[in-house]
Structure 1
Amino acid sequence: MRLLETERLILRTLTIEDADRVEELASEYDIAKTTLNIPHPYPEGSAKTFIESVLLAEEKDNVAFFAIIDKESSSLIGIINLGNIPVHKRGELAYWIGKPYWGKGYGTEAANKVIEFGFEQMELNKIFAASFTDNPGSWRIMEKIGMKHEGTLRGHVIKWDKSLDLHYYGILRDEYRK
């Protein structure tokens, strides 16, 4: 089991036992509207299928998914992952935090630790992330962890039949070390 620790958080491998809590948090409309792949309404029972696919992807694709656990309550409060494109030594960071935990620095704390993991354990050269342009909570996390805005891709994705712009941010290994 993969395990990382910060001052307030434990980042560990997702398990099937997390399915009910993932479903509970991901069912919130405000979570779905800020992410590309979380549907709303969230289909009952689909968190288990999601976690099963994550565990399979971790074995095959060298991607690292983490349940974000609040140490104080021992509750799952979100998910963070780092994909890996080995040929380019590049990883994509993605995350969501349950709405009751917004604005408390948990996303920044988790993202900092996963960035460290990506550079130190996965030996990546670059880590990048994308956010809807109308989701400042997400791209501010990227800025706080040292990522630089690399551009905005207009009409880059479709969510709920609407064309949306994405801000892209990135950080290089050399920038991380400074």
Structure 2
Amino acid sequence: MLSTRLVTRRLVLRPLLLRDAKDVQALAGDIRVADTTLLIPHPYADGLAEQWIKRTRRTFKKGDSFAFAILARTDDGEAEESFIGCMSLAIDKTHNAAELGYWIGYPYWNQGFATEAGRAVIRFGLEVLGLERIAATHLSRNPASGCVMKKIGMMHVGRLRRSIQKNGVFEDRELYEIIRSDYLGFNVP
């Protein structure tokens, strides 16, 4: 599975590599990124990216989680160019489901990259892995992430009030999901 590559019109998604650590550190370490995500700490300590990448590679190999580096494609369409961010599916094997998570580096916000990558990862989860359900949450104060979730075919199903503590403050999260029958009707391009 570590050879899995998802290719879209502008992007290549592939398993993270240790050589990505510098880009992960720089982009995820930006307070604007860390502040809008559930699990990225700030400051982003040295060495944390390498530890995280090693862990994601182990879980990718076991099929427990699929974390993809999101990279821009070169004009010829195949080679990888700029590191943009990450997107993952954390698998719940018992219930044939997954949780979608992602972050995009600040220089790449508002360019449709999360939507494009999200469509590819949803397709991978539902068609290749055969999942029945994919869920995702975002901080209520980050509505842009909810827009991405809607664009990739997910449906808003509720609010999880004061469900996570971020920087010492309890925050609400919005819950989205897509199930196999929704996907077949939505037919994500």
TM-score bucket (shorter structure)? over 0.9
For the aligned residue pairs, the C-alpha RMSD in angstroms reads 1.0
Aligned mate of 1:57, from 56, 59, 62: 59
Match of 1:12 in 2: 14
Aligned partner of 1:156 in structure 2 is: 163
Runs of 4+ in structure 1 displaced over 3 angstroms? none
Q: What is the one-letter code of the residue matched to 1:63?
A: S
Name the counterpart of 2:5.
3
Matched, 1:134 2:141: yes
Unaligned runs of 5+ in 2: 75-79
C-alpha separation in 2, matches of 1:50 and 1:107: 21
- Alpha-carbon deviation of 1:62? 2.2
Deviation string, structure 1 residues 33-89 (Cα, Å, up to 9, x no partner): 111211111101211111011111223352111000011370110000011111111
Task: Provide TM-score, normalisation by structure 2.
Answer: 0.91
**SS of residue in 1 equivalent to 2:141:** coil
Identical residues among aligned pairs (%) = 40
- Normalised by the length of structure 1, the TM-score is 0.97
Moved more, 33-42 or 147-156: 33-42
Match of 1:78 among 81, 85, 90: 85
Q: CA deviation at 1:99?
A: 0.4
| Counterpart code for 2:163 | H
2: distance between equivalents of 1:5 and 1:59?
A: 20
Counterpart for residue 30 of structure 2: 28
Amino acid at match of 1:13: P
In the alignment, the residues of structure 2 paired with residue 89 and residue 54 of structure 1 have an alpha-carbon distance, to the nearest angstrom, of 20
- Structure 2 match to 1:99: 106
Question: Is residue 112 of structure 1 aligned with residue 119 of structure 2?
Answer: yes
- Equivalent residue letter for 1:71: R
Task: Say which SS state the counterpart of residue 9 (structure 2) adopts.
Answer: coil
